[in-house]
């Protein structure tokens, strides 16, 4: 087996699973892109097996601390372990992220389950090359009726792959899911991400617990999950803002499907907040898409986050609540909290922290691989009189 010799004091030697080109002391053999390689230290001690791609910034991703082939038995074992973990955590096995990349020992593989439909992403070259084997392993272990491919994420370009979307097994049909008593019809082939934001499911419930009797504004509403959860929880009024015409149409359809009153506004959130000078809301929810995909644009992203928070804070009533989220792993929880603090200073307001949020347990976070944790959020209440 070809492989890489890793430099001393790199993160891999301290539990991390990624190898950057700058971490490589020497390459032995002639590994092909997508091949499984051995990782060794300078004393020829085995550090594990990894998938290799010279075209990627991350040239190797370790998936085992042993010598291991990527064969059908391996995929089945890893999927079964992922299922067992979710059962132990009380996760609904029919509505969850079934496989979360490195967190489940399958770097670049994401599998979301919506009942009998699986949505698969293969975001690393090695896993994409073994897609057929992976599909067969999913069929044997999960026994779905449909497997859909949503390989349209921009990250595939970094691995030297083109976008691809389609049906890999079975026949695609509209999918309906039930989340805390609210029914949604989702589009697994064309919707955002894989059709629904599964990482926020617990947070829909936790935010909606504060909605009763309140005037709610849900920004970047996407499929309307926060808005509909708040409406079902007894909010006095709910406004959902979504820039996409298709998204706004889907929110209206979901509201009608559940018989829930909802005001849907098709608009750019920045422009909407700027125009709402006379409006007041008791609960504002900010769940924007990632403002940055790389660390180089972090400062620009923070300026965007601060601006939108400043505008939202101006619309809050006395003792109003702000539930705010970031899904960028480049923005840490302390940095996100610091940005909110800066926005409060500029708005001449103070706030008390009520809750913190993170991704659900079906999106497990590896302690030694912090990049597996990306979603963070805060619920704060304005401190009147300060």
Catalytic residues: 327
List, in order, residues 6 or more apart from 340 with CB less than 8 Å away.
309, 324, 351, 378, 380
Angle, helices 333-347/298-313, rounded to nearest 10 degrees: 50
- Going by DSSP bridges, is the β-strand pair 36-40/3-6 parallel, antiparallel, or unpaired? parallel
Residue 258 CB coordination number (10 Å): 16
Tell me phi and psi for residue 92, to 5 degrees.
Answer: -65, 115
108 dihedral zone (left: phi>0; alpha: psi -120 to 50; beta): left
**For residues 83 and 54, what is the distance between their CA atoms, to the nearest angstrom?**
32
Task: Spell out the residues 6+ positions from residue 376 whose beta carbon is closer than 8 angstroms to its own.
Answer: 325, 326, 331, 332, 333, 336, 356, 357, 358
Which ranges in the chain belong to alpha helices (H)? 72-88, 125-129, 131-142, 155-158, 201-208, 225-232, 245-258, 269-275, 298-313, 333-347
Residue 14 three-state SS: helix
- E strand segments, the chain: 3-6, 18-20, 24-28, 36-40, 46-52, 58-64, 95-100, 109-114, 117-122, 146-151, 164-169, 175-179, 182-186, 215-219, 237-242, 263-266, 281-286, 316-326, 351-358, 376-382
Q: What length is written for the chain?
A: 386
Spatial CB neighbours of 148, under 8 Å, sequence gap ≥ 6: 117, 118, 119, 120, 165, 166, 167, 168, 172, 188, 189
Residue 188 has what DSSP assignment? T
In the block, residue with structure tokens 């084997």:
133
C-alpha span between 152 and 128 (Å, rounded): 13
């Amino acid at each position: 087996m070809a492989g890489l010799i890793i430099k001393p004091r790199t993160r891999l030697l301290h539990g991390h699973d990624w190898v950057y080109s700058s971490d490589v002391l020497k390459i032995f053999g002639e590994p092909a892109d997508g091949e499984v390689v051995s990782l060794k230290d300078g004393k020829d001690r085995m550090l594990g097996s990894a998938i290799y791609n010279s075209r990627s910034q991350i040239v190797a991703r370790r998936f085992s601390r042993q010598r291991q082939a990527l064969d059908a038995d391996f995929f089945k074992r890893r999927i079964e372990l992922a299922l067992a973990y979710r059962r132990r955590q009380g996760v609904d096995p029919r509505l969850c992220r079934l496989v979360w990349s490195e967190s489940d020992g399958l770097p670049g593989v994401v599998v979301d389950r919506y009942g009998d439909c699986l949505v698969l992403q293969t975001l690393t070259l090695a896993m994409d090359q073994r897609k057929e084997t992976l599909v067969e392993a999913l069929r044997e272990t999960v026994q779905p009726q449909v497997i859909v491919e949503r390989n349209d994420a921009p990250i595939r370009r970094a691995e030297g792959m083109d976008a691809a979307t389609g049906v890999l097994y079975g026949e695609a049909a509209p999918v309906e899911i039930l989340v805390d008593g609210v029914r949604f019809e989702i589009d697994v082939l064309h919707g955002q991400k894989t059709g629904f934001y599964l990482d926020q499911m617990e947070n829909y419930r936790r935010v909606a617990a504060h909605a009763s009797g309140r005037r709610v504004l849900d920004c970047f509403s996407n499929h309307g999950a926060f808005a509909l959860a708040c409406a079902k929880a007894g909010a006095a009024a709910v406004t959902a803002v979504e820039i996409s015409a298709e998204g706004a149409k889907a929110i209206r359809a979901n509201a009608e499907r559940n018989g829930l009153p909802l005001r849907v506004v098709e608009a750019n959130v920045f422009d909407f907040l700027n125009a709402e000078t006379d409006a007041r809301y008791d609960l504002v929810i900010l769940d924007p898409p990632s403002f940055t995909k790389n660390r180089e644009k972090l400062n620009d992203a923070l300026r965007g986050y601060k601006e939108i928070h400043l505008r939202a804070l101006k619309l809050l009533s006395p003792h109003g609540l702000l539930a705010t989220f970031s899904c960028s792993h480049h923005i840490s929880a302390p940095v996100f909290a610091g940005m909110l603090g800066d926005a409060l200073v500029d708005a001449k307001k103070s706030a008390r922290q009520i809750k913190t949020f993170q991704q659900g347990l079906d999106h497990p976070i590896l302690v030694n691989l912090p990049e597996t944790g990306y979603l963070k959020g805060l619920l704060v209440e304005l401190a009147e009189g300060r």
